Structure 1
Amino acid sequence: MAQGKPRLPGDPDMPRPLNLAAAMLESIAAAADKSGRTFSDQTAHWLLIGRAIEESAGFDFAKVEAVLVAGRDTVDLTETERIVWNAYLHERLTPEL
């Protein structure tokens, strides 16, 4: 970007606020400290992992949703889908995350 050129809305280099609960921020900070990453790098790392899981061939979020919404049995979930289901369930039970 040229020096002095104003940033426009939608510019990918423009900072964007992200609202996260205090417990999640603490979790990110602890993981960053443990891994030696910066807070921003740890957040980006976890975002990449989440995206990779959602885009993986062995993952079907519709199955996870069916368990969460319709009460379908978890026996049909893959191990990864079960981990994601458990994370969503934990989030619902502890909304401060």
Structure 2
Amino acid sequence: MGQSIKLADDIVKDVRFEAKLLRRSVAKQAEHWLRIGQAIEQSPSFDYTRIKAALAGKFDADNLSIEEGVIFDEKIFSALEETSDAERVFFEKRQKAGLGVGEDEEGNLIYK
């Protein structure tokens, strides 16, 4: 019996896109990716504790296997995309003062 789960909108968007490309249902695409993730985690060349140690700076990320490195990179990039409450407050203050709050793809300051 199937069960509903909540997923972030960006993940659902990616699943829908890939499902359409591969002519799968959204549910079958999500199951496929879940099984791939499960297989990677159960692989003898994959150790999630090593990834956690590398993320904490207690293990040299250069010593991770290729599979571990993929997950490590994903976690790092995901963390870089997240904005903390302190960062939001900082940029709100800059925006109210009419100062730049970032750069666009061409390197121009963004004020909004």
Fold match by TM threshold 0.5:
yes
Question: d(CA) in 2 for partners of 1:79 and 1:87?
Answer: 12
Q: Secondary structure at the match of 2:13?
A: helix
Does residue 55 in structure 1 map to residue 42 in structure 2? yes
Does residue 66 in structure 1 map to residue 53 in structure 2? yes
The amino acid that maps onto 2:35 is L
Percent identical residues: 27
Does residue 45 in structure 1 map to residue 32 in structure 2? yes
Higher Rg of the two aligned structures: 2
Question: d(CA) in 1 for partners of 2:22 and 2:7?
Answer: 20
Tell me which moved more, 39-48 or 17-26: 17-26
**TM-score, with length taken from structure 1:** 0.76
Aligned length: 83
Aligned to 1:81: 68
Question: d(CA) in 1 for partners of 2:6 and 2:79?
Answer: 17
Runs of 4+ in 1 over 4 A off after TM superposition: none
Higher relative contact order (CA 8 A, sep 6+): 1
For structure 2, the 5+ residue unaligned runs are 83-112
State the superposition RMSD in angstroms. 1.8
Question: d(CA) in 2 for partners of 1:66 and 1:94?
Answer: 21
Q: Secondary structure at the match of 2:6?
A: coil
**TM-score, with length taken from structure 2:** 0.67
Question: d(CA) in 1 for partners of 2:11 and 2:67?
Answer: 21
Question: d(CA) in 2 for partners of 1:14 and 1:40?
Answer: 10
Question: d(CA) in 1 for partners of 2:41 and 2:52?
Answer: 13
Does residue 25 in structure 1 map to residue 12 in structure 2? yes
